[in-house]
Amino acid sequence: MRKLGLIGGLSWTSTARYYELINRAVQDRLGGLHSATLIIESLDFAELARSVTTNDWDSALVQMTAAARRLEAGGAEGLMICANSMHKIHRDVAAAVSIPVLPIVDEIGARLKADNVTSVALVGTSNVMMDRHYRQQLVSTSGATLLPGDEELAARIDRMVYEELAAGKVTREAERYMKSELTDIAKEDVQAVILACTELELVVNVDANVLPIYDSTKIHAEAGVRFVLED
CATH code, domain carrying 150? 3.40.50.1860
Distance in angstroms (rounded) separating the CA atoms of residues 16 and 79: 16
Q: With 90 as the cut, is the pLDDT of residue 87 above it?
A: no
Statement to judge: residues 49 and 118 lie in one domain: no
**Residue 118 belongs to what domain range?**
105-216
Q: Give the amino acid at 205.
A: N
How far apart, in Å, are the Cα atoms of 109 and each of 77, 125, 159, 185, 192?
A: 24, 18, 27, 20, 13
**Which stretches within the chain are classed as H helix?**
12-30, 45-53, 57-73, 90-95, 104-114, 126-129, 132-142, 151-163, 172-185, 216-228
Statement to judge: residues 154 and 72 lie in one domain: no
Q: In what order do the strands lie in the sheet with 192-195?
A: 145-146, 119-123, 192-195, 213-215
Identify the pLDDT of residue 143: 95
Statement to judge: residues 110 and 182 lie in one domain: yes
Domain total of the chain? 2
Identify the pLDDT of residue 10: 82
Statement to judge: residues 190 and 125 lie in one domain: yes
Statement to judge: residues 110 and 202 lie in one domain: yes
Please report, rounded to a whole number, the percentage of residues in the chain having pLDDT higher than 70.
100
pLDDT digits (tens, 9 = 90+) for 169-199: 999 999 999 999 999 999 999 999 999 988 8
Statement to judge: residues 142 and 189 lie in one domain: yes
Statement to judge: residues 132 and 176 lie in one domain: yes
145-170 residues labelled b (16+ CB within 10 A) or e (exposed): ebeebbeebbebbbebbbebbbeeee
Distance in angstroms (rounded) separating the CA atoms of residues 9 and 15: 6
Statement to judge: residues 145 and 99 lie in one domain: no
Statement to judge: residues 55 and 134 lie in one domain: no
Statement to judge: residues 99 and 136 lie in one domain: no
Statement to judge: residues 111 and 98 lie in one domain: no
44-65 residues labelled b (16+ CB within 10 A) or e (exposed): ebeebbebbeeeebeebbebbb
Identify the pLDDT of residue 198: 83
Which residues are registered as beta bridge partners of 42?
8
Residue 140 burial (10 A CB sphere; 0-12, 13-18, 19+): exposed
| Helix-helix angle 216-228:104-114, to 10 degrees | 100
pLDDT, averaged across the chain:
93
Identify the pLDDT of residue 11: 85
Statement to judge: residues 140 and 158 lie in one domain: yes
Identify the pLDDT of residue 53: 77
pLDDT digits (tens, 9 = 90+) for 96-137: 999 999 999 999 999 999 999 999 999 999 989 999 999 999
